[in-house]
């Protein structure tokens, strides 16, 4: 088998296709269809989805469209190459020459493949422009083109083989389409059926402890419940009294900087402010606003158990895309709320220092209580050492609280000398 013989057959086949007017018409119609598809899809896409999203959607659709049309057109380019020439009595002329059967077959295959590549070449500018617009990356673009080239060549090979095996051109064309349909639809379907028959369902249970989340939740619940033991405060049952976490009421009132004095304070307590999304924040603000409408002698607090800074400021979230606020709707850190309720600026700090001894006494009263070994404890001791704590219990205590309350009143200035002065 020589390349000269293959090239001769290939050139003859291509010249016959080029001479035909329908060939040029088909390429023109193909280009027009691609233009209309791109314009139609562009008009249907939502501009709010973004330029990159539109380019990606167009690219994917054009790619699939080219592949689908290629699978339809490619069989017609080769399914009648052999039996069509046999019917026209032109195949005998080729067989009478010095050309071998392999050279004739390969030449016809390459000619059909080149004709299919003409359709792909018309579509390449559209894919190239969409790639430049951000529809796909360059490696993906090159990979897609390679897949198209190989797929079209394979379909042409299937059509050529069936053309040689059957006597009638209609039979070879129908069989070619049946094989293409079976390969494109039947293969994934058979793979799906086979995978379901040989696979079994296994359940894997993974236990994971989120220390940060569990600790944050415990801190928030603890301080919410502890306010029921403070004078002038109560913790309503779940869903009662408007669903507030804490309600404080005092005859002499609560002084709020820049907002006057109010008799009642309604509290919505959160572990962290950043755990609220925009929808939840807007809903909470509207709840507080409605409370102010029904009670003209109150304030509403969003109390953060763990806040970035010690603060008692006007809360200004975004509701329906607009920034809103009210002087009596406040965002308050936990230490500032303790100070407001008790009248002592370091009440939260002093309470925290007493917790280790209280927890130790509580554990002694429980018959089966034990403290598990955990690497987190070692990390906390190392953190406390950096703060200058020398007593082990106090070091561990301060490490825990410095992780969450490092900016609160009393904690920010925690040093060995300050603790000694406080004691």
The pTM for the full model equals 0.44
- Residue-level pLDDT at 397: 55
- Residue-level pLDDT at 206: 62
- Residue-level pLDDT at 392: 52
- Residue-level pLDDT at 157: 82
3-state secondary structure the chain: CCHHHHHHHHHHHHHHHHHCHHHHHHHHHHHHHHHHHHHHHHHHCCHHHCHHHHHHHHHHHHHHHHHHHHHHHHHHHHCCHHHHHHHCCCHHHHHCCCCCHHHHHHHHHHHHHHHHHHHHHHHHHHHHHHHHCCCCCHHHHHHHHHHHHHHHHHHHHHHHHHHHHCCCHHHHHHHHHHHHHHHHHHHHHHHHHHHHHHCCCCCCCCCCCCHHHHHHHHHHHHHHHHHHHCCCEECCCCCCHHHCCEEEEEEEEEEECCCEEEEEEEEEEECCHHHCCHHHHHHHHHHHHHHHHHCCCEEEEEEECCCCCCCEEECCCEECCEECCCCCEEEEEHHHHHHHHHCCCCHHHHHHHHHHHHHHHHHHHCCCCCCCCCHHHHHHHHHHHHCCCCCHHHHHHHHHHHHHHCCCCCCCCCCHHHHHHHC
- Residue-level pLDDT at 314: 92
- Residue-level pLDDT at 285: 93
pLDDT averaged over consecutive 10-residue blocks of the chain (423 residues)? Answer: 74 72 77 83 61 73 83 77 69 66 79 83 86 84 89 83 79 81 79 70 61 54 82 88 92 89 92 74 92 94 86 89 91 91 87 76 71 54 55 51 65 50 38
- Residue-level pLDDT at 93: 64
- Residue-level pLDDT at 88: 66
């Amino acid at each position: 088998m020589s390349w000269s013989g293959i090239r001769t057959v290939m050139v003859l086949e291509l010249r016959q296709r080029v001479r035909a007017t329908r060939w040029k018409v088909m390429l023109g119609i193909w280009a027009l269809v691609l233009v209309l598809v791109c314009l139609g899809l562009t008009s249907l896409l939502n501009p709010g989805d973004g330029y990159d999203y539109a380019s990606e959607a167009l690219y994917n659709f054009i790619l699939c469209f080219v592949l689908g049309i290629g699978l339809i057109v490619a069989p017609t380019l080769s399914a009648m190459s052999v039996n069509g020439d046999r019917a026209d009595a032109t195949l005998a002329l080729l067989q009478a020459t010095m050309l071998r059967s392999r050279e004739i077959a390969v030449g016809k295959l390459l000619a059909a493949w080149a004709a299919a590549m003409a359709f792909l070449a018309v579509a390449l500018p559209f894919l190239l422009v969409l790639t430049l617009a951000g529809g796909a990356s360059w490696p993906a673009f090159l990979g897609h083109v390679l897949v198209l080239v190989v797929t079209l060549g394979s379909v042409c090979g299937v059509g050529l083989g069936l053309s040689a095996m059957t006597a009638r051109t209609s039979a070879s064309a129908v069989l070619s389409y049946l094989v293409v349909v079976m390969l494109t639809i039947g293969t994934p379907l058979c793979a799906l059926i086979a995978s379901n028959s040989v696979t079994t369902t296994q359940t894997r249970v993974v236990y994971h402890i989120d220390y940060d989340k569990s600790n944050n939740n415990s801190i928030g619940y603890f301080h919410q419940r502890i306010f029921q033991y403070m004078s002038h405060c109560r913790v309503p049952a779940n869903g009662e009294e408007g669903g507030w976490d804490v309600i404080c009421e005092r005859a002499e009132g609560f002084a709020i900087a820049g907002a006057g004095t109010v008799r009642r304070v309604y509290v919505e307590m959160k572990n962290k402010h950043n755990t609220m999304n925009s929808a939840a924040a807007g809903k909470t603000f509207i709840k507080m606003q409605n409370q102010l409408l029904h009670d003209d002698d109150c304030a509403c607090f969003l109390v953060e158990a763990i806040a970035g800074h010690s603060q008692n400021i006007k809360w200004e979230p975004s509701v329906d895309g607009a920034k809103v606020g009210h002087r009596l709707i406040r965002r308050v850190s936990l230490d500032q709320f303790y100070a407001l309720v008790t009248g002592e600026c370091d009440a939260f700090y002093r309470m925290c220092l007493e917790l280790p001894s209280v927890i130790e006494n509580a554990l002694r009263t429980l018959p089966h209580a034990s403290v598990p070994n955990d690497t987190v404890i070692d990390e906390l001791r190392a953190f406390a050492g950096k703060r200058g704590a020398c007593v082990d219990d106090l070091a561990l205590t301060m490490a825990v609280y410095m992780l969450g309350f490092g900016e609160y009143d009393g904690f920010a200035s925690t040093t060995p000398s300050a603790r000694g002065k406080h004691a």
